[in-house]
Amino acid sequence: MRIIDAFAPAKINLTLHVTGQRADGYHLLDSLVAFGPMGDRLVLRESDVLSLSVAGPEAAGVPADPSNLVLKAAALLSRPAGQGAEIHLDKYLPPASGIGGGSSDAAAALRGLAALWDQPLPAETAQLGADVPMCLTPQPQRVRGIGETLDPVALPPLPALLVNPRVEVPTPAIFKGLDSKDNPPMPEALPTFAGAHDCIDWLATQRNDLQAPAIASAPVIGEVLDGLMMLPGCRLARMSGSGATCFALFETLDGAQAAEAMLAQRRPDWWRASGMLGDQTQKAQPQSRASSS
């Protein structure tokens, strides 16, 4: 029996500029995205039926029925006759937290099932959500339009601490709370960075336009950002996506890990994870192995 291990890394919006809104209501974005070493894990086993089970420290409230994006993703693939898959999802990322957990799970399922069933990836995945196409190739990229324009970018590894105060914020309400939906994009040509220091300095000149309305909806996000900025060595603190997960960037991984330990003492009720944001392409490739049973 073949077994496929697939990793679903956290997606972090280092910047998120809302640049307009289409007539159909979709918002136009210009965002710099990176992926982290923290994430969910999927194990896919050969089976004659398709099934999903969910466990892990963040599994509460995550459905294992057809409403889960993992099973919706499976429906997009050409499934060989008589073949299915037993999919087990271990949740380590908090759901509905602005770091693409469900979308990354769907993308990992697509990569894993394509390997298990020897099928090509589907051409169209945006119907699963705007974040899924970018999560299919989890490496630094610039995302524009409604998520359909993806351009790889070169970023230095960025030591980071992610924190979620365990509140959910409704994305439609956050967009509705924007004072302006026609904001400047990032520069057309992004800089070349010599290292993390230069990159963080430049990121500090950019924005997440959803941060202010998210804080208005959930003031604890402002508390998280203030707490991160007070940590020794923090160079930049910002919200990811539509929230409520925030990130802090540091000069070194040791600094990020020390900050995580300090925050764990102050706010043990908050979810947190530290690591290097960077190219996850190799780690995200599905790994095949044979069952020992």
Residue 25, annotated as binding a ligand: no
Q: Please, are residues 253 and 159 in contact by the beta-carbon 8 Å criterion?
A: yes
Say whether 12 sits in a helix, a strand or coil: strand
- Residue 217 annotated as binding site: no
Residue 100 assigned as binding residue: yes
- Write the Ramachandran bin of 219: left for phi over 0, alpha for psi from -120 to 50, otherwise beta: alpha
- Is-catalytic flag, 131? yes
The torsion angles phi and psi of 12, rounded to 5 degrees, stand at: -120, 125
3-class secondary structure, 198 = helix
Annotated active-site residue 226? The verdict is no
> Of the residues 11, 30, 40, 105, which is catalytic?
11
- Residue carrying structure tokens 């390997």: 115
Q: Is 102 annotated as a binding residue?
A: yes
The answer to whether the annotation marks 177 as part of a ligand binding site is: no
Catalytic residue, from 30, 131, 201, 279: name it: 131
In 118-247, which residue ranges form alpha helices assigned H by DSSP? 132-136, 171-176, 196-203, 211-217, 220-229
148 contact partners, CB below 8 Å, separation of at least 6: 126, 130, 133
Q: Annotated binding residue at 104?
A: yes
Is residue 112 within 8 Å of 42, Cβ to Cβ? yes
CA atoms within 13 A on the CB side of 247: 30
What is the token pair recorded at 134?
């970018």
The position carrying tokens 């402002």 is 222
Asked whether residue 99 is marked as a ligand-binding residue, the answer is: yes
Beta strand pairing call for 236-239 and 271-277: unpaired
Instruction: Report the C-alpha gap between 82 and 49 in whole angstroms.
Output: 8
Annotated binding residues for ATP, written as ranges, equal 94-104
Active site residues: 11, 131
Annotated binding residues, written as ranges, equal 94-104
